[in-house]
Amino acid sequence: MNAQTHDIVIVGAGIAGLYALIRAQKQGLKAIVLERGSDIGGTWYWNRYPGARCDVESFDYSYSFDDELQQEWTWTEKYASQPEILAYIHHVADKYHLRDGVRLRTNVTAASWDEQNLLWTIATEENEHFVAPIVIMATGVLSTPKIPDFPGLDEFSGEVVNSAHWPERGVDFSDKRVAVIGTGSTGIQIIPEVAKDAAHVYAFQRTPSFSLPAQNRPLSVEDNQAVKRSYREFRERARNSMLGAWTDTHDTSALEVTAEEREAEFQRLYDYGSPMRFASAFNDLLTSEQANQTAREFVSSRIRERVADPNLAERLIPTGYGLATRRLCIDTGYYETFNRENVTLVDMREEKLEQITARGIRTSAREIELDVIVFATGFDAVTGTLTRMQITGTSGTLSEKWGHSPDSWLGVMVHGFPNMFVVTGPGSPSVSSNMFLSIEQHVEFISDLIADSRAKGYARIEPTAEAEQEWVAHSREVSDGTLMKDATSWYTGTNVPGKPRAVLQYLGGVDVYGAKLNHIQEEGYPGLERAAMREGAAA
Ligand code: NA7
């Protein structure tokens, strides 16, 4: 076996992997990033479908580690589009000379731990091997799309595209009959865009989502300057917030204020257009069914105003789960799109998708002729990318372990997998936070831990089983107190058949979580077992 040796192998060249590379290079370590895509960017490389846009505001959704970087970059919209975010990531790669450290078109399929020599061997689909004492899995939380196996898919004579593997050449929808399957954040972004060009769009909805108007707008130079003048304080406020982005909300129960006050507050935040702010309008929207009901009623009324046909509006209004217990979406003209002549809702709760045929889709009610089928059917989120790799630790594989329960120590390390770090893994705030901030927080924690261990002569780092279980129990206790635990969605792993039900995020808050990481660091990393190299190990 002809293996290449490094100090660190980083898997994934998205926001996390690139920052991990910056930190490793700063520490003088020989690092390589392995990336399966043909370019850098991760999530923002793959998800280039029409309408793709972030749901965290641009000033928050960016790196904070270098003031020069945040001063020199100018955002053009409140919610940046995919091309703008990708351009930003490319700017970062150029500024910090990262490209030479990234190996593209390199798909990691396996990683195995050598306990004698304290080394990971990383294998790729291209049959290459990389050896390093440390591996950082920066593989993303929404990086393995879920593709339902609808019968007959192979027979379809038109074009089939997946939102998460959008063709680089683009897709021409003009005058085409198009089905979009899935009405989560992605479907909600795609449907209005495709409807502008297509002859007809059939929106296949199984579960309606709650969505708020994004109230997206161009950002002026003055808008940028206003934030840049006090970016340090802006970031500090974000780090000390529950969601990793400051929300202009009050610490009050929705049930303690009058109906008029509640309505006014919901309206104020609705007009602002931010899922994070709206979901934290009151402090008990995610813990009290009754409080949540008030928010649901408010948004349902707005949906009724946006959709001309009252029957159609009722079909688009979610029932049976709490607002923000599944992803609360933002949109640009989503509900209004259903007022167009060329858009039809196919309500899969009543009209089952029975078969994909050569000509289109046969439902329990009709056959719909189509030229294009778009899958926006979501992801095997947070754990799916890692469980698909053959990762073998000290006593079994990660897919076996997480097949029972996605346990980890703070979402950053896993007992049984020494020297393997995960950026924004299960049990960390990850997708319930501003991912950029959570990624920075994790990468900094990881690189500081590596530096500290190297300085002290430790070659092996592993969380104890007890520390891991303590964190899992705490995380579960927090999520058990919320309405989120009961929802069926990718937040709880219940969108993927066979995946164990567990809230995949730590819901105690980015502020609380950050304080925990800082405390652990200050206390010399309790919960971790660190050991020196064994005698006789390969140098
Ligand atoms: P989501 O939010 O998981 O949405 C996927 C959608 O696809 C959702 O409406 C699903 O309905 C639907 N779906 C999935 N499987 C099927 C099958 N078999 N039949 C019919 N419909 C299906 O993924 P997104 O990509 O929209 O968003 C993911 C995150 O990316 C988003 O929250 C942002 O953070 C960015 P279901 O709800 O399962 O009934």
Per-residue pLDDT, 3:
83
User: What is the tens place of the pLDDT at every residue in 163-208?
Assistant: 999 999 999 999 999 999 999 999 999 999 999 999 999 999 999 9
Pocket flag, ligand 1, residue 207 (CB < 6 Å)? yes
Q: How many CB atoms lie within 10 A of CB 228?
A: 17
Per-residue pLDDT, 535:
74
| 529 φ, ψ (degrees, to nearest 5) | -105, 120
pLDDT band at 538 (very low <50, low <70, confident <90, very high): low
Per-residue pLDDT, 92:
98
Residue 506 Cα to ligand 1 midpoint, Å, equals: 21
Pocket flag, ligand 1, residue 208 (CB < 6 Å)? no
Pocket flag, ligand 1, residue 408 (CB < 6 Å)? no
Statement: residue 289 has pLDDT above 70? yes
User: What is the tens place of the pLDDT at every residue in 324-349?
Assistant: 999 999 999 999 999 999 999 999 99
CB 48 within 8 A of CB 268: no
Half-sphere exposure of 182 (CA within 13 A, CB side): 23
- Which helix (H) or strand (E) segment holds residue 22: the answer is helix 15-26
Rounded Cα gap, residues 73 and 62, in angstroms: 10
Rounded Cα gap, residues 314 and 309, in angstroms: 9
Per-residue pLDDT, 147:
87
pLDDT band at 533 (very low <50, low <70, confident <90, very high): confident
Ligand 1: which residue has its CA nearest to atom 25? 378
Please report the beta strands in 411-483, taking only residues with DSSP state E, as ranges in sequence order: 420-422, 460-463
Using DSSP, state whether 134 is helix, strand or coil: strand
Residue 185 Cα to ligand 1 midpoint, Å, equals: 8
Residue 293 Cα to ligand 1 midpoint, Å, equals: 23
Rounded Cα gap, residues 462 and 420, in angstroms: 8
Residue 123 Cα to ligand 1 midpoint, Å, equals: 31
| Atom from ligand 1 closest to the CA of residue 207 | 39
Pocket flag, ligand 1, residue 142 (CB < 6 Å)? yes
Looking at the chain, the whole-number percentage of residues with pLDDT higher than 70 is 99
Residue 182 Cα to ligand 1 midpoint, Å, equals: 5
Pocket flag, ligand 1, residue 129 (CB < 6 Å)? no
User: What is the tens place of the pLDDT at every residue in 482-496?
Assistant: 999 999 999 999 999
Distances in Å between the alpha carbon of 244 and those of 62, 411, 484? 12, 16, 19
User: What is the tens place of the pLDDT at every residue in 350-372?
Assistant: 999 999 999 999 999 999 999 99
Residue 386 Cα to ligand 1 midpoint, Å, equals: 20
Statement: residue 5 has pLDDT above 90? yes
- List the one residue out of 244, 310, 256, 315 whose CA is nearest residue 285: 256
Per-residue pLDDT, 416:
98
Testing ligand 1's pocket by substitution, the residue of 206, 315, 330, 346 carrying the most ligand atoms inside 8 A of its CB is 206
Strands across the sheet containing 108-114: 3-5, 129-132, 119-124, 108-114, 390-392
| Atom from ligand 1 closest to the CA of residue 378 | 23
CB 464 within 8 A of CB 410: no
Using DSSP, state whether 431 is helix, strand or coil: helix
Pocket flag, ligand 1, residue 495 (CB < 6 Å)? yes
If you write DSSP's letter for every residue of 26-90 in order, what string do you get? Answer: HTT--EEEE-SSSSS-THHHH---TT-B-SS-TTTSS--S-HHHHHH----BSS-BHHHHHHHHH
User: What is the tens place of the pLDDT at every residue in 197-256?
Assistant: 999 999 999 999 999 999 999 999 999 999 999 999 999 999 999 999 999 888 999 999
Residue 7 Cα to ligand 1 midpoint, Å, equals: 39
Per-residue pLDDT, 367:
97
Q: How many CB atoms lie within 10 A of CB 305?
A: 9
Pocket flag, ligand 1, residue 191 (CB < 6 Å)? no
Ligand 1: which residue has its CA nearest to atom 10? 182
- List the one residue out of 6, 207, 215 whose CA is nearest residue 121: 6
Residue 378 Cα to ligand 1 midpoint, Å, equals: 4
Statement: residue 1 has pLDDT above 70? no
Per-residue pLDDT, 301:
98
Quick one: average pLDDT of 39-53?
98
Half-sphere exposure of 98 (CA within 13 A, CB side): 31
Using DSSP, state whether 388 is helix, strand or coil: coil
Rounded Cα gap, residues 525 and 409, in angstroms: 12
User: What is the tens place of the pLDDT at every residue in 101-141?
Assistant: 999 999 999 999 999 999 999 999 999 999 999 999 999 99
If you write DSSP's letter for every residue of 329-388 in order, what string do you get? Answer: EEESSHHHHTTSTTEEEEETTTS-EEEE-SSEEEESS-EEE-SEEEE---B-TTTHHHHT
Quick one: average pLDDT of 386-409?
98
Distance of CA 320 to the CA centre of its chain: 24
| Atom from ligand 1 closest to the CA of residue 148 | 18
Pocket flag, ligand 1, residue 348 (CB < 6 Å)? yes
Residues in the chain: 539
Mean pLDDT across the chain: 97
Looking at the chain, the whole-number percentage of residues with pLDDT higher than 90 is 97
